[in-house]
Amino acid sequence: MSFQSNPLCSGTGLFESSYAAQSTPHAVFKPLLALFLGVMMSLLLNGNSLAAEHVIQLTAEETRDDGFGNKLLAYKMLSHTIGGTNVTHRYSTEATIPGPTIELTEGDTVKISILNAIPGNNVPVPGISKQVSIHVHGVHYDILSDGTLKVINKLFDEGAGAGLEETYVVYEYKWNVAPGTAGTWAYHDHNFETHNGAEHKGLFGAIIVNPIGAPQYAKEYVLYLGDDAFWGMEINGANKKQSKHGPNPTLSAREDTRVRFHLIALGTDIHTFKLDGYHWFDPGTHNLINQAAIGPLEKHVFSVKAEHSSQYEDKNLSNRLLGMRGKFNVQ
């Protein structure tokens, strides 16, 4: 199978196609790569009949302003099918911060495309990128799915909208959720305005890659640690429904159920996370801890048995004083 056929061009005359350019600069490595990945994937598929193909469409939008003309950006799930089954109902119908949490299993493959609903995104401006992209952590992908601008990857402006050099209406990325990629990982924009993207303006979300046969949790909580607030959401373990998006959300759990926290930091601050009255294993070790230092784009995943109501908090001085905390209600 060919691993990569992006960019997915809608073919309207307005937007240039890059197929011509594509065959010149890195013509050598692409077929090699496709061959390599093809072999690898077929091995993988033979060994694991559970592997599913995900087809996902995301878009990026501006949020409502804060009442004073300042807006954030956010991802929205347009559609998600797993092996042809539509699971879009899991997600909010609104653009959310954090963006949709995408649950995957080791062995899966993903085709994920990005659209751009930010006003003015298709009008090129010299020196400024109007693109949005999806740069994912953790899973396998080739250089065409890096979700970066050409100034970084030397090939294409890999996003939707007018980039520094190229414009695409839709850009498709392919992820190989290979064995050895289990964990919780960030995805975020890398292309808006500069080659650093707008991850700090709301364009971030998480993927959860479970190993085959992973335990189920009654609730999954994704908490992004930003520079002044947690941006969180909750997933119902039974029906996978996602809810409670936004800053410092109140998380809820039934008593004596097992719940899992997925922490990822983002921005400029380095944090110290604490969940009052709870201990958990430092990931990958048997050390019980009750707080964790976490820096931007690090992940920290742990599960606890919900025993009593508590609060989660960042102990970084200014963030603590700003009230960067939320409730964990156990009933």
Site for another protein in 127-186 (CB under 8 A): 127, 135, 137-138, 140-143, 146, 148, 152-154, 176, 178-183, 185
> How do strand 271-275 and strand 310-314 relate by DSSP bridges?
antiparallel
What are the tokens at 56?
Answer: 């996902």
CA dihedral 188, 194, 195, 199 (to 10 degrees): -20
Report the residue number, 240 or 244, with the smaller CB distance to another protein.
244
Q: With CB under 8 A as the rule, give the number of residues binding another protein.
A: 72
Cβ of residue 4: shortest distance to another protein, in angstroms? 9
Cβ of residue 123: shortest distance to another protein, in angstroms? 19
Q: Contact with another protein (CB under 8 A): which of 77, 97, 114, 253?
A: 97
Cβ of residue 36: shortest distance to another protein, in angstroms? 7
Question: Which among 275, 224, 262 has a CA at the least distance from the CA of 96?
Answer: 224
Q: By CB under 8 A, tell whether 112 contacts another protein.
A: no
Phi, psi of 4 (to 5 degrees): -140, 125
In the window 196-255, what residues touch another protein (CB under 8 A)?
Answer: 196, 199-202, 226-229, 231, 247-248
Cβ of residue 235: shortest distance to another protein, in angstroms? 21
Report the residue number, 117 or 301, with the smaller CB distance to another protein.
301
Report the residue number, 90 or 147, with the smaller CB distance to another protein.
147
Q: Contact with another protein (CB under 8 A): which of 11, 13, 69, 213?
A: 69
Q: By CB under 8 A, tell whether 6 contacts another protein.
A: no
In the window 249-308, what residues touch another protein (CB under 8 A)?
Answer: 265-268, 270, 283-285, 293-299
Distances (CA, A) of 109 to 17, 86, 192, 266: 26, 16, 26, 26
Question: Which among 273, 54, 19, 294 has a CA at the least distance from the CA of 144?
Answer: 19
CA dihedral 289, 291, 294, 298 (to 10 degrees): 50
In the window 8-37, what residues touch another protein (CB under 8 A)?
Answer: 26, 28-29, 32-33, 36-37
Q: By CB under 8 A, tell whether 194 contacts another protein.
A: yes
Report the residue number, 97 or 253, with the smaller CB distance to another protein.
97
Q: What does the DSSP assignment read for 171-222?
A: EEEEEE--TT--EEEEEE---SBSTTTTGGGT-EEEEEEEPTTPPP-SEEEE
Angle at 266 between CA 67 and CA 58, to 5 degrees: 70
Contact 162, 131 (CB under 8 A): yes
DSSP 17: -
Q: Contact with another protein (CB under 8 A): which of 49, 70, 239, 331?
A: 70
Cβ of residue 289: shortest distance to another protein, in angstroms? 13
Please report where in the chains the tokens 């949790």 appear, as a residue.
217
